[in-house]
Amino acid sequence: MRYLPLDAITPEMMLARPIFNTDGKVLLSSGMKLLPKYLERLREMGYEHLYVYEPGEEKVDFTAPISDKTLSEAMLSVKDSFAKAHLRQHLNLKQVTSVIDYLIDEILQNPAVLYNLMDLKNHDNYYFLHSINVAVISTMIARNLGLARDKVKELSMGALLHDLGMVCVDPAILLKDRPLQQKEKGEITEHPKFGFDLLRNEPGLSIFVAHTAYQHHERLDGSGYPRGLSGDEIHLYGRIVAVADSFEAMTSHRAYRKPYWSHEALAELKKEAGVKYDPEVVQAMVDSAAVYPIGSVVRLNTGEEAVVVDVTATKLTIQFSSGPRINGIYEMAADSELRIEERLS
């Protein structure tokens, strides 16, 4: 399974990960032949990359952090929460809590699972998938920090709803295809406070959930916003979501810049550990994410090229895509003679 830009996809390739609409319904299921009319439509919808199988490629089972069912329910729940917040109606907390329970159960039941898939965002589902990814990454960080289940739940809920305040920002500013101007940035910097105000008025919701939204853009050295809090003034949940959100944003495609690859985003976080980010949280993030996610094309120390077909905390499986072992599957152990030298795409 490869993660390829649309331009590199040919009609004989098959879709390897489903495409969901914003209601969480499957629009194109995996196994579909990628006919030119589908590709054209996906391009119009703003997709940049897809997961595909090459013709005749052997399908390798991989370990995803959450099931497609939970992903689909989370999409629906986040979309509904944003819609309700937009209308200043109360959220359906029963539904959000149920999604969070599934998400946490799936991640905690599988201690070796990593954040290993690049997602498939477009302009319609950007904030919904971003919110879900930040919740998944934050939950993994919390798992690695050893947080108790009730705390993980508060944190995950705050992570899922961290950008809820975006509903109060002029939609024309969001998802601009260029870097934002000063005035636009000013309006966006209000969203943590908007989110806090929306969430603290939700009956039955922990105030820590509201504070997570309030603090997710604060930075350890006081350089963040909206209040410029520093150090321990920022709650642990805020420090966790800051790291998860930054990683997710850096590895996402924006129209005006290419996404960082995972290893580049992790290096960036490490560089800022102790300055902008809590170093322990950064370490837990590094332990949570695949350096080379599934679908990455890599060059090995032997000069051969290969595709990463599965990765967990304990094993990395590749399929050779060049050389005498082409199409062969190989499980790289820690003491394996094969090493990845470089990510190619």
Identify each DSSP E strand in 195-326 by its residue range: 297-300, 305-311, 316-320
Nearest distance in Å: CB 307, Fe ion: 33
CB 46 within 8 A of CB 65: no
Stretch that binds Fe ion, among 71-79, 159-167, 205-213, 328-336 (CB under 5 A): 159-167
Nearest distance in Å: CB 162, Fe ion: 6
**Nearer residue to Fe ion within complex by CB, 193 or 253:** 193
CB 276 within 8 A of CB 219: yes
Stretch that binds Fe ion, among 54-62, 121-129, 160-168, 272-280 (CB under 5 A): 160-168
Stretch that binds Fe ion, among 42-50, 117-125, 161-169, 248-256 (CB under 5 A): 161-169
Q: Work out the angle between the directed axes of helices 262-271 and 236-250 (0-180°, nearest 10).
A: 140
**Nearer residue to Fe ion within complex by CB, 17 or 216:** 216
User: Nearest residue by C-beta to Fe ion?
Assistant: 163
Nearest distance in Å: CB 134, Fe ion: 9
Maximum CA extent, the chain: 63
- Among candidate residues 138, 146, 147, 194, the one with its CA nearest the CA of residue 166: 194
**Nearer residue to Fe ion within complex by CB, 4 or 91:** 91
**Nearer residue to Fe ion within complex by CB, 106 or 163:** 163
**Nearer residue to Fe ion within complex by CB, 113 or 210:** 210
How remote is the C-alpha of 201 from its chain's centroid?
28
Nearest distance in Å: CB 202, Fe ion: 18
Nearest distance in Å: CB 98, Fe ion: 24
d(CA 100, CA 96): 6
Sheet hosting strand 305-311, strand order edge to edge: 329-332, 316-320, 305-311, 297-300, 340-343
Count residues near Fe ion (CB under 5 A): 1
Stretch that binds Fe ion, among 123-131, 142-150, 157-165, 324-332 (CB under 5 A): 157-165
d(CA 173, CA 181): 10
**Nearer residue to Fe ion within complex by CB, 119 or 163:** 163
- Among candidate residues 144, 155, 165, the one with its CA nearest the CA of residue 241: 155
- 163 lies in the binding site for Fe ion (CB under 5 A): yes
d(CA 99, CA 174): 26
Nearest distance in Å: CB 260, Fe ion: 17
**Nearer residue to Fe ion within complex by CB, 106 or 119:** 119
Rounded to whole angstroms, what are the CA distances from 131 to 71, 75, 144, 307, 312? 11, 9, 20, 28, 23
CB 140 within 8 A of CB 286: no
**Nearer residue to Fe ion within complex by CB, 71 or 134:** 134
Q: Residue 94: exposed, middle, or buried by beta-carbon count in 10 A (0-12, 13-18, 19+)?
A: exposed
Nearest distance in Å: CB 188, Fe ion: 8
**Nearer residue to Fe ion within complex by CB, 13 or 244:** 244
Q: What secondary structure letter does DSSP report for 119?
A: -
Stretch that binds Fe ion, among 26-34, 158-166, 279-287, 316-324 (CB under 5 A): 158-166
> Would you give the binding string for Fe ion spanning residues 257-296, x where CB under 5 A is met?
----------------------------------------
Nearest distance in Å: CB 161, Fe ion: 11
Nearest distance in Å: CB 215, Fe ion: 10
Question: Residues in the site for Fe ion, rule: CB under 5 A?
Answer: 163
